[in-house]
Structure 1
Amino acid sequence: MRNRNHSARPSLGTHFMKLLAIAAFMALCAPWALAEDAATATRLEQRVHDFLVEQARPLGDSVSVAVQRSQARLPACEDPRPFLPRNNQRLYGRVAVGVHCSGDAPRTRYVQADVSVAVEHVVLARDIARGATLTPQDVTLERGLLEKLPRHAVRHIGDATGLVTTRALRAGTPLQDYQLRRQDLVKRGQTVSVIARGDGFQIRREARAMDNGAMGEQVRLRIANGELLQARVIGPKRLSVEF
């Protein structure tokens, strides 16, 4: 009995020493593993950053991107390839990006990023009354961040001048497209000139407009015999019908 107990002690001691060796090895390797994880995360973030800068570049003059680092410990992402999860996705403000990760077990993860885009936009240079036709002197350009502008902000002066305001507007207000309408070239009740065109013929006649209409809009007309037809506005008091 004594001999059997005595022979077991070296076995326990050997096992304990092996455990110490394994723990020491893991402690030595841990910094390298952490360094590799950090490098992988940095590479993924850089890929997402560059991808979003390229995607958002057409929106404005300058683009800045801040990628949100995940706090969860995730498997390494080999050869990260970013993509947009949805068609027609908004590319400014808080943006979600998918990342394909290759390797032995391919997977997809999702990353959040804040995208800021500097743009020029149209601002009223002075107070404007309802129903006024905007001129170049009524508007000016200012710089701002796209993610902080109204969703329907007008970006180019040419998209505002010549249009009519649908409400009174104050100086310094960012102009929005729903606050504007095209100028009516045809008024309801007016006598207008209609050109009817078809294969090898063209007829001009007069009619009475039943609606207001701006350039390119369809307007109802009543001709001399009382018949109603639709015609497209092509100029002041001028419309066209294609057959």
Structure 2
Amino acid sequence: MRNQNHNVYPDHGAHFMKLLAIAALIWLGAPPALADSSEEALIEQRVRDFLIEQARPLGDSVSVSVQRAQARLPACENPQPFLPRNNQRLYGRVAVGVDCNGEGGRTRYVQADVSVTIEHVVLARDVPRGATLTSQDLMLEKGFLEKLPRQAVKRIEGAVGLVATRALRAGTTLQSYQLRRENLVKRGQTVSVIARGEGFQVRREAQAMDNGAMGEQVRLRIANGELLQARVIGPKRLSVEF
């Protein structure tokens, strides 16, 4: 007797081919492979090494903490970090681009916290307004660049001989806006001017028309009433080059 139910079940070969077709459709429409933990670790390491190298000239030591991505991202083979902007600040919170899979590949962006340890100048004692700073007024301390004021003074030599524009308290960070250069020439003073040229040098007196610190240009009036510009080279001393 012939089996009446032979059409109920499809042919096994046809069924297998359908499964292959469905699998192919799923594979073609699948999203790109996702980065695994080892790839993420490689990205973090390369970003960390890149930022340490970039920030090394800023201070004595550099530490970097890379922020891990919250979502799973596409795979990133051979990640190459770069700075997205020219003249980008390299301390504090820093954004880094990562070129994935070579030229024309995906680019992702990573956030990192960069800490740079540097020496900076602090007041060793109270300094009154108008006082000229000496090396005894100042000392160096270590601190984090990302936490210091932008105008923090970093070298004692850069502050010695400058004048405090306000009263400064011991232990505070010295900032450049708190200082001005000492005027070695004052308006109305009689000053000595040296005129130099090829094969000659002449010294004469003149009247200063401006205040001036070391290296600054000021106006002078000489005996015949003529005005000229001269460069401050010392207390009440100026030079004109011909």
For 2:164, the aligned partner's letter is: T
| Residue 185 of structure 1: aligned partner | 184
> Could you list the runs of 5+ residues in structure 2 that have no partner in the other structure?
28-32
User: In proportion to residue count, which structure has more helix?
Assistant: 1
> Could you list the runs of 5+ residues in structure 1 that have no partner in the other structure?
27-32
User: In 2 relative to 1, CA 39–225 (structure 1 residues): closer, same or farther, beyond 3 Å?
Assistant: same
Question: Are 2:129 and 1:137 aligned?
Answer: no
SS for the counterpart of 1:224 is: coil
| Residue 64 of structure 1: aligned partner | 63
CA distance in 2, matches of 1:52, 1:103: 20
CA distance in 2, matches of 1:87, 1:200: 49
User: In 2 relative to 1, CA 206–114 (structure 1 residues): closer, same or farther, beyond 3 Å?
Assistant: same
| Residue 206 of structure 1: aligned partner | 205
| Residue 229 of structure 1: aligned partner | 228
For 1:49, the aligned partner's letter is: R
TM-score w.r.t. length of structure 1: 0.85
CA distance in 1, matches of 2:71, 2:232: 61
For 2:7, the aligned partner's letter is: S
How far is the alpha carbon of 1:80 from its aligned partner? 1.4
CA distance in 2, matches of 1:77, 1:242: 63
| Residue 88 of structure 1: aligned partner | 87
SS for the counterpart of 2:193 is: strand
Q: What's the % identity of the aligned pairs?
A: 76
| Residue 114 of structure 2: aligned partner | 115
1:202-240 C-alpha deviation (Å, 9 max, x unpaired): 222111011111111111111111111111111111111
1:109-133 C-alpha deviation (Å, 9 max, x unpaired): 2211100011111111222111101
CA distance in 2, matches of 1:91, 1:104: 25
User: In 2 relative to 1, CA 14–131 (structure 1 residues): closer, same or farther, beyond 3 Å?
Assistant: same
CA distance in 1, matches of 2:162, 2:103: 60
For 1:156, the aligned partner's letter is: R
Alignment of 1:162-177 (within 5 A): 162-177=161-176
RMSD: 2.7
SS for the counterpart of 1:102 is: coil
Question: Are 2:237 and 1:238 aligned?
Answer: yes
1:76-112 C-alpha deviation (Å, 9 max, x unpaired): 2221111222222211000111222225852322211
TM-score w.r.t. length of structure 2: 0.85
For 1:154, the aligned partner's letter is: V
What number of residue pairs does the alignment pair up?
230
CA distance in 2, matches of 1:169, 1:159: 17
CA distance in 1, matches of 2:155, 2:5: 93
CA distance in 1, matches of 2:186, 2:115: 45
User: In 2 relative to 1, CA 4–197 (structure 1 residues): closer, same or farther, beyond 3 Å?
Assistant: farther
| Residue 30 of structure 1: aligned partner | none
